[in-house]
Structure 1
Amino acid sequence: MLTIALPSRQPELHYAATLLFGEFLGLQFSLTNSPASTATEIKLPNGATLVLGDHFFHKYDSLAEFQIPATVAWVNKTQNPFLCQANLPVLFGEARLQVSEKKITCGIDVLATIFFMLSRWEEYANPARDKFQRFPASAALAVKNGFHQRPIVDEYVEMVWNMLTHLGIGQQRKRRSFRAVITHDVDFPLQWRSPFSLVKKLGGDLLKRKSPRQATRSLANYFNTKKGSEKDPFDTFDYLMDQSERQGLQSHFFFLCGGGHKNDEGHLPPRHPFMVDLMKKIDRRGHLIGFHPSFDTFNDGQLFKTELAELQRFSPQEIKAGRQHFLRFEVPTTWRIWEENGMAWDSSMYFPEMAGFRCGTCHPFPVFDILQRKMLKLREMPLTVMEVTFMVYQKKAPDEALAEILSLLQQVRQFNGSFVLLWHNTSFNAPEWRAYETRYESLMALF
């Protein structure tokens, strides 16, 4: 067993240590406090010692003093042979490293970095927001310093494991396996919800897309759908389940089922006959039903609770997971709302305008409430890729988008993590999405 002496009793430090040595590495360890120390000391059963620098927790009592780094240093493999990549960003501490047979002293503040990335304290401390009140990618330290597409928490974990291995640790680490988590946020179950839907679509075809031919197709599809000779363009649920089943995977369908904001207007209530039948079909085919709380629920616990209860009332499955609509999120309020409603995991941690690792990891993890200063039961399953990022936000060509997705996939595989994909049911059967449709099948074939 490892004996870990922490230089502070702060719950934030205990959280970071518990996640590093327990959640991520799966080692047996005990935590003790050594307030007189200025570093974290890990004692191995063979008498060897790993010392990790502490440049924050032993100095300060309050997170209010936890500063966002102004700059990030970089260390390379020549300076630190325990890295799993060619280099590593150093957010806290220094690159100093001393190595002997029985002792390693590392100046990098590993635990402060893990806490900083996983708790999303940065998003609470930095007031920057976009037009939807979301923390923007452009304000994130990882984006500013070019490591947002690297799971640096996982890289730090590997570095520590390599150090422990050098010192002769006698334990085996947790065995992990790569997995693909396929999710679909269902904002619009049907395109033709009412005659007004047709009017709106025709207006877009003629005025925005300037395509009389597309308007004619839309009109024909509307009436053919009503007659039952064609499927609604947004009713791609059988297709999505087919694609997942070919790879031996389950699809997670997260349903928007309430809300009064204009960005909620596409939903159907769970009691709607189409929704009732759809959820039964999803359940029958062995896929999963989840929750997509409406636009204003990110800081409204009562609205969240009401919508969840309505979905649960008509769902054949217990609702335990989901993702916030529009990825609206307020740290730590939104996590707390999910916790208070008994949810098992959320998958909202993602920058809509930029794919990558918002939390610095490709593994699910228990979250930390920075105001109540405690670890929650709720787990975060960070989203890796959303198709709208490339098509709508970045307007990338499909092949360029696929190349970037494959780069992220390769990294997730390297760390045996969870590649969480979001592909909306509406991203098919439309001229603007046609080029992306085949890329979805190409991507799914890689899982």
Structure 2
Amino acid sequence: MLLIYTPKVTSRIIYVFKHICTHILGLEIKFTTRIEEFIAHQGLKFSYGKKRLGNELFIQNVELLLEQGLSDPEIKVLPWEETKCFFAVSENSDLPFDIFAASFFMLSRYEEYLPHVKDDFGRFPASESLAYKGGFHKQPVVEIWTYKFKTLLETRFNNIAFRERAFHTKTIISVSHVFNFKNKGFLRSIAGTASDLFNLKFYRVTDRFKVLLRLRQDPYNVFDDLISYIKKYKLDIVFMFQLSDYNAYDKNINYNRLNYRSIIKYVADYSKVGLRLGYFAIAEQEVLKKEKKRLENIIHGPLQNVINTKYNLMLPIHYSYLTELEIPNDYSMGYPESIGFRAGSSEPFLFYDINMEVTTPLTIHPYVFHSQVCHNLEAGEVQSEIAGIIKKLKQVDGSFRGIFKNRDFSEYSNQSYYYALLKQVNEIK
């Protein structure tokens, strides 16, 4: 057991210390505000505060974890060994910065509560983040900092034992359109055909009629191929299906279509499935509840996983909706337009609601790669970026989560390229 002395125990302190010390390092922790108890303790211990008590391991703090609500902290990013850090403290501390406050700032998405410039979709863009501006958005800094803290503990305590960890990959397939042509209805099929003719895409006109006449499979229905990959390579994949009502933002087919429901049931036999949230499900809890019930009725089980990669996360309102509806896992924490760690972490973490100052039961599974970035980068650049990220993650036994779309693997896309990326992120030779 690791005893931690701090003059004041706050909900923020409990949250971030448990994440670093217990979730990542596997250490049971206990807090004390009594100096005499800390001095008398003969086991593992360190202090966290303004002043060192004696010759103990000491991490000096800044004010962030003692506050409630939002302030506008002055942050200066500094180089530290091979990484970066912020919230610098005095030389009296055994670390040059407050690792716990910095980690809380990243994990809680503190900066996303503050006024910021939004992109065309109303989202918090990577370019506005402290990590991007400070040049460390492609590093899992929370784990890097934690492992340096781990080394510090090892130098002080010979008998300390940490949790065994290993590098892990997980792939998420985001499905907004199960079919390109099938089950679109008469009017949408006519409009699509007219559009293809106008744009001289005659191959699509031919394919559309072949699909509608059941002479060939719909090009977006690649689920047999992906399931074969899962079976062959034992891949950890979650499929996220959209079940929204048709509207100006969401163009998926009717969720009641038998073919659609059959595919979801088929995929659920071999992999985890979840809900890809529609536009109105982000901001309206009743819509979210309706979409949740639709998937649960199809898979005959509780909804465990959701994702939103297209629209604004609306922190913390949307996450509070997920919590209230007892949805345990969210995979939305990342940048669809940029490779990098939005929360500075590759590891799952509980969401901390700054407005309520509580740790929620919602687990955030951050992703570092979205196939959307492939539209803006050369193929070699993407593969090089992924290789660099994987190398960094292996140094801290982290997790690589990548998001693809089912249509990435269709004949209408550069399917061989995306299959190569799928192999790369899952280290398939």
TM over 0.5: same fold? yes
Distance 1:46 1:415, change over 3 A: closer
Amino acid at match of 1:266: N
The alpha-carbon distance between structure 1 residues 53 and 329, as it changes in their structure 2 partners (threshold 3 A), is: same
Go from structure 1 to structure 2 and tell me whether the alpha carbon gap of 1:199 and 1:92 turns closer, same or farther (over 3 Å shift): farther
CA contact (8 A) 1:121 1:331 kept: no
1:147 aligns with 2:147: no
1:333 is aligned to 2:317: yes
> Is the contact between residue 13 and residue 57 of structure 1 (CA under 8 Å) also seen in structure 2?
no
Name which of 336, 343, 353 aligns with 1:369: 353
1:101: which partner in 2?
A: none
Give a deviation string over 1:9-36, Cα, whole Å, max 9, x none: 321122111211111111022112369x
Question: Residues 44 and 155 (structure 1 numbering): CA distance in 2 closer, same or farther, change over 3 Å?
Answer: farther
CA offsets 1:23-69 (integer angstroms, 9 cap, x no match):
1111022112369xxxx99x7716772211101147x5333235152
Relative distance call for 1:441 and 1:112 in structure 2 (3 A) is closer
Contact 1:233 1:428 in 2 (8 A): no
CA–CA distance in structure 2, aligned partners of residues 268 and 325 of structure 1: 21
Q: How many correspondences in the alignment?
A: 415
Does residue 114 of structure 1 match 2:103? Answer: yes
* Partner AA of 2:417 in structure 1: Y
Q: Name the % identity.
A: 21
Q: Distance in 2 between matches of 1:46 and 1:370?
A: 31
Match in the other structure for 1:83: none
Which blocks of at least 5 consecutive residues in structure 2 are unaligned?
Answer: 46-54
* Partner in structure 1 of residue 166 of structure 2: 177
Report the secondary structure of 1:105's partner residue. Answer: coil
Poorly superposed stretches of 4+, deviation over 4 Å: 195-207
Kept after mapping to 1: 8 A contact 2:246/2:253: no
Q: 1:310 to 1:324 in 2, by over 3 A?
A: same
Q: Which amino acid aligns with 1:219?
A: V
Letter in 2 for 1:117: M
Are residues 1:194 and 2:185 paired? yes
Counterpart for residue 261 of structure 2:
276
Within a 5 Å distance, the mapping from 1:402-417 to structure 2 comes to: 402-417=383-398
SS of equivalent residue, structure 2 residue 139:
coil
The residue type paired with residue 251 of structure 2 is E
The answer for the alignment partner of 1:4 in structure 2 is 4
Partner of 2:151: 162
Offset, 1:412? 2.2
- Residues 129-188 of structure 1: CA distance to partner in whole angstroms, max 9, x if unpaired? 222221111110001111000000001101110000000152311112222211111101
* Residue aligned with 1:412, SS: helix
Gaps of 5+ in 1: 77-85, 99-103
How far residue 263 of structure 1 moved from its aligned partner, in angstroms, is 2.1
Equivalence for 2:30: 30
Secondary structure at 2:216 match in 1: coil
Structure 2 partner of 1:436: 417
- Kindly state the Cα deviation for residue 106 of structure 1 after the two structures are TM-superposed: 2.5
Q: Give the corresponding residue for 1:82.
A: none
In 2, distance between residues paired with 1:204 and 1:229?
A: 22
Residues 87-107 of structure 1 deviation map (CA, whole Å, 9 limit, x = unaligned):
x3221023x556xxxxx7324
User: 2:195 & 2:382 partners in 1: Cα distance?
Assistant: 26
From the superposition, tell whether residues 144 and 178 of structure 1 become closer, same or farther in structure 2 (CA, over 3 Å): same
Mark the CA change 1:227 to 1:431 in structure 2 (over 3 Å): closer, same or farther.
closer
Query: Is the 2:3–2:44 Cα contact (8 Å) retained in structure 1?
Result: no
Distance in 1 (CA, whole Å) between partners of 2:97 and 2:228 is: 47
Cα distance in 2 between the residues matched to 1:66 and 1:184: 37
1:424 is matched with which residue: 401, 405, 417? 405
> Relative to 1, partners in 2 of residues 1:307 and 1:445: Cα closer, same or farther, differing over 3 Å?
closer
Q: In the superposition, relative to structure 1, how do residues 170 and 283 fare at CA in structure 2: closer, same or farther (>3 Å)?
A: same
Mapped pair 1:127 → 2:116: yes
Describe the SS at the equivalent of 1:106: coil
In structure 2, distance between residues paired with 1:316 and 1:7? 50
Question: Counterparts of 1:261 and 1:402 in 2: how far apart (Å)?
Answer: 36
Moved more, 3-12 or 371-380: 3-12
TM-score (ref. length: structure 1):
0.86
Question: What is the alpha-carbon root mean square deviation over aligned residues?
Answer: 2.6
Indicate yes or no: 2:277 matched with 1:300: no
Q: 1: distance between equivalents of 2:187 and 2:62?
A: 60
Q: Which SS does the other structure have where 1:291 is aligned?
A: strand
Instruction: Give the 3-state SS of the residue equivalent to 2:57 in structure 1.
Output: strand
CA distance in 2, matches of 1:408, 1:426: 25
Name the amino acid aligned to 2:169: A
1:286-297 equivalent positions in 2, closer than 5 A: 286-297=270-281
Cα displacement (A) at 1:339 = 1.0
Secondary structure of 2:407's match? coil
2:79 to 74, 81, 85: 74
